[in-house]
Amino acid sequence: MELRLRDISLVNFRNYRDFTLNSIGDLTVFVGKNAIGKTNLLEAIQLCSALDSFRHPNSAQLVAEGEDFSRLSVLIEGDARKLDIVMKVSAGRRQFFLNDKKKSIADLKGTLPAVIFTPDDLALVKNSSSLRREALDELGSQLTKNYYVVKHDYEKAVRYKNKLLKEEASPIFLQSINDTLLTCGAQLEYYRAELFSRLSEKLTANYGRLSNGEALESRYIPSWCSIDSSDFQTKFDDLSDKDFIKRKMSEAFDRALPEERARKRSLIGPHADKIILEIDRRNVADYASQGQRRSVVLAWKLAEVSVIKGSLNQNPILLLDDVMSELDGSRRESLVDLVEGDMQTFITTTNLSYFTDELLSRASVVELPATENAIRLS
C-alpha cells in the first residue's frame, strides 16, 4: 500500500491558530471565498511532504501574527509504516522531526513527494528559464538526497563567487572557487540532464494529447554553449559524461572572466543554463497563445507526476490551488482524469460547479472558514 497522508495539524501557522484534519481520504476539496486560508492549507501539506513551499517564504512569515512559534504535524501511513513528521518554526528557524527524532531536510526528502499546480505556474512558460530551472531542481530534490545536497552546495558556491567578484578579489581566490564550482556544477548539470531527458519525454507526449497532436520540443542549453551551437546540438548525450562537462565549463570560465569581473557576477554554470520550449520551432514564451501556454504547464505538471511515480514507485500528493478557473473544459477534463486515478489529491476552489457530481461524491468537501477546530473526514 502506498504512503498516504492521514492527519494534519496546524498550530499558529499563518491564519490558523489551531486546526486539525483527521482520517484524510484520497480526495479532499477545500471550498471558500478568496483570502480565507485555502492556499495556506496546501502550503502546510507541501511543507510536510515536499519539505518546501511554492511561495518560498522566510520562516517568520509562517508564524501567525502575534505568536512566536508555529507547528505543523502530519501522520503518514502505508506500506506497514507510520511516520509522524513535524515542522517547528521559532526564532526564524525551521526544524524537522521524524517520529520524535530531529532530521535534516535532506534526510526527509523523497519520503512523500508532492506536485503542486497554482495559477502562478503559468509564469513557468512565460518568463525566463530561471523558473524552469527551479522547477526541475525542486523535482530532482524530491527524488534523491544527493540532488538536493549538490544543488545546495552549488548555490552556496555561486553566492560566494559573486561576493568575490563584487569585492574585486584576486585571481587566486577566483580560481579556488571556480574549482569548487566545477566539481559541484558538473555534478548538478549531470543530474539535471538525466532528469530533463526523462521529464521532456513525458512533457512532449502529454502536450501532444492535450493539443490534438501539436509538437512540443524542449531543449536544455548549458551556459557554456550558445543556443544555436552545433556543438550542443550533436552532443546532448555528452552531458552524461562529467569529465566532458567539467572541461567545457572550465574553458567557459576562462573565456567569461573579463565579463564576469565587469558585471560582478557569475555568468557560467547551471544557474545560467537555459531550458527552451518550442512549438513548431517558435519559442513558447514569445509566440504561444494563452491556451497553448496553459497546455504546456499542465503537461509539465503531469510529467512531474509520471517521473516521480517511475523513480520512487510512489505516487506524489497532488495539490491543485484554484486552477480549475484557469483552464478550459478540455484541460479540466484532463486534470480530472488524473484526479480520478489512485493519487491522493487536495483541491482548493471558490466554486464547486467546476467539478462533476461524480467527483464530488467521492470527495471530502471542507467548507472554509471551518466552524470546528478539528474535523474528521471519514
As a whole number of angstroms, the longest Cα–Cα distance in the chain is: 68
Query: Any idea which architecture 121-313 has in CATH?
Result: Up-down Bundle (1.20)
pLDDT of residue 363 exceeding 60: yes
Q: What is the pLDDT of residue 210?
A: 86
- Give the model confidence (pLDDT) of 203-229 as tens digits: 999 999 888 888 999 999 999 986 554
- Determine the Cα–Cα distance for residues 205 and 306; give it in Å rounded to an integer: 11
The domain spans of the chain are 1-113+315-378, 121-313
- Determine the Cα–Cα distance for residues 296 and 288; give it in Å rounded to an integer: 10
pLDDT of residue 195 exceeding 70: yes
- Determine the Cα–Cα distance for residues 97 and 280; give it in Å rounded to an integer: 49
Q: How confident is the model at residue 173 (pLDDT cuts 50, 70, 90)?
A: very high
* Residue listed under C-alpha cell 559541484: 184
- Give the model confidence (pLDDT) of 25-74 as tens digits: 999 999 999 999 999 999 999 999 999 999 999 999 999 999 999 999 99
Mean pLDDT calculated for residue range 154-174 = 95
* Mean pLDDT, the chain, whole residue set: 90
Cα dihedral across residues 315, 316, 321, 325: positive or negative: negative
- Determine the Cα–Cα distance for residues 11 and 62; give it in Å rounded to an integer: 10
Mean pLDDT calculated for residue range 294-317 = 93
- Of 184, 345, 320, 165, the residue nearest 249 (C-alpha): 184
Q: Give me the residues paired with residue 20 across strands.
A: 9, 374
Report yes or no: 218 and 200 within 8 Å, Cβ to Cβ: yes
- Give the model confidence (pLDDT) of 310-332 as tens digits: 999 999 999 999 888 777 777 77
Mean pLDDT calculated for residue range 94-108 = 95
- Determine the Cα–Cα distance for residues 338 and 325; give it in Å rounded to an integer: 17
Instruction: Give percent of the chain above pLDDT 90.
Output: 74
Query: Cell triple for residue 81?
Result: 509504516
**Assigned CATH for 1-113+315-378:** 3.40.50.300
Report if pTM > 0.75.
yes
φ and ψ of 268, to 5 deg = -120, 135
State the amino acid at position 27 in one-letter form. Answer: L
Report yes or no: 84 and 102 within 8 Å, Cβ to Cβ: no
- Determine the Cα–Cα distance for residues 326 and 321; give it in Å rounded to an integer: 10
Q: What is the pLDDT of residue 234?
A: 39
Q: How confident is the model at residue 233 (pLDDT cuts 50, 70, 90)?
A: very low
Query: Cell triple for residue 347?
Result: 483541491
* Residue listed under C-alpha cell 480520478: 340
Mean pLDDT calculated for residue range 219-244 = 70
- Determine the Cα–Cα distance for residues 288 and 230; give it in Å rounded to an integer: 26
**Topology alike, domains 1-113+315-378 and 121-313:** no
Q: What is the pLDDT of residue 190?
A: 94
- Determine the Cα–Cα distance for residues 306 and 128; give it in Å rounded to an integer: 25
Q: How confident is the model at residue 240 (pLDDT cuts 50, 70, 90)?
A: confident
- Give the model confidence (pLDDT) of 328-357 as tens digits: 777 777 777 777 678 899 999 999 988 888
Alpha helix (H) residue ranges in the chain: 38-49, 105-108, 123-126, 129-143, 145-166, 171-210, 230-233, 242-263, 284-287, 290-312, 329-339, 357-362
- Of 198, 148, 189, the residue nearest 307 (C-alpha): 198
Q: What is the pLDDT of residue 209?
A: 86
* Angle, helices 290-312/129-143, rounded to nearest 10 degrees: 20
- Determine the Cα–Cα distance for residues 86 and 72; give it in Å rounded to an integer: 6
pLDDT of residue 14 exceeding 50: yes
Q: What is the pLDDT of residue 371?
A: 73
Helices and strands, number each (H, E), in the chain: 12, 15
Q: Give me the residues paired with residue 328 across strands.
A: none
Element containing residue 18 per DSSP (H, E): strand 16-22
pLDDT of residue 236 exceeding 60: no
Report yes or no: 29 and 360 within 8 Å, Cβ to Cβ: yes
| Strand stretches in 303-372, DSSP E | 317-321, 345-349, 364-367
Q: What is the pLDDT of residue 355?
A: 86
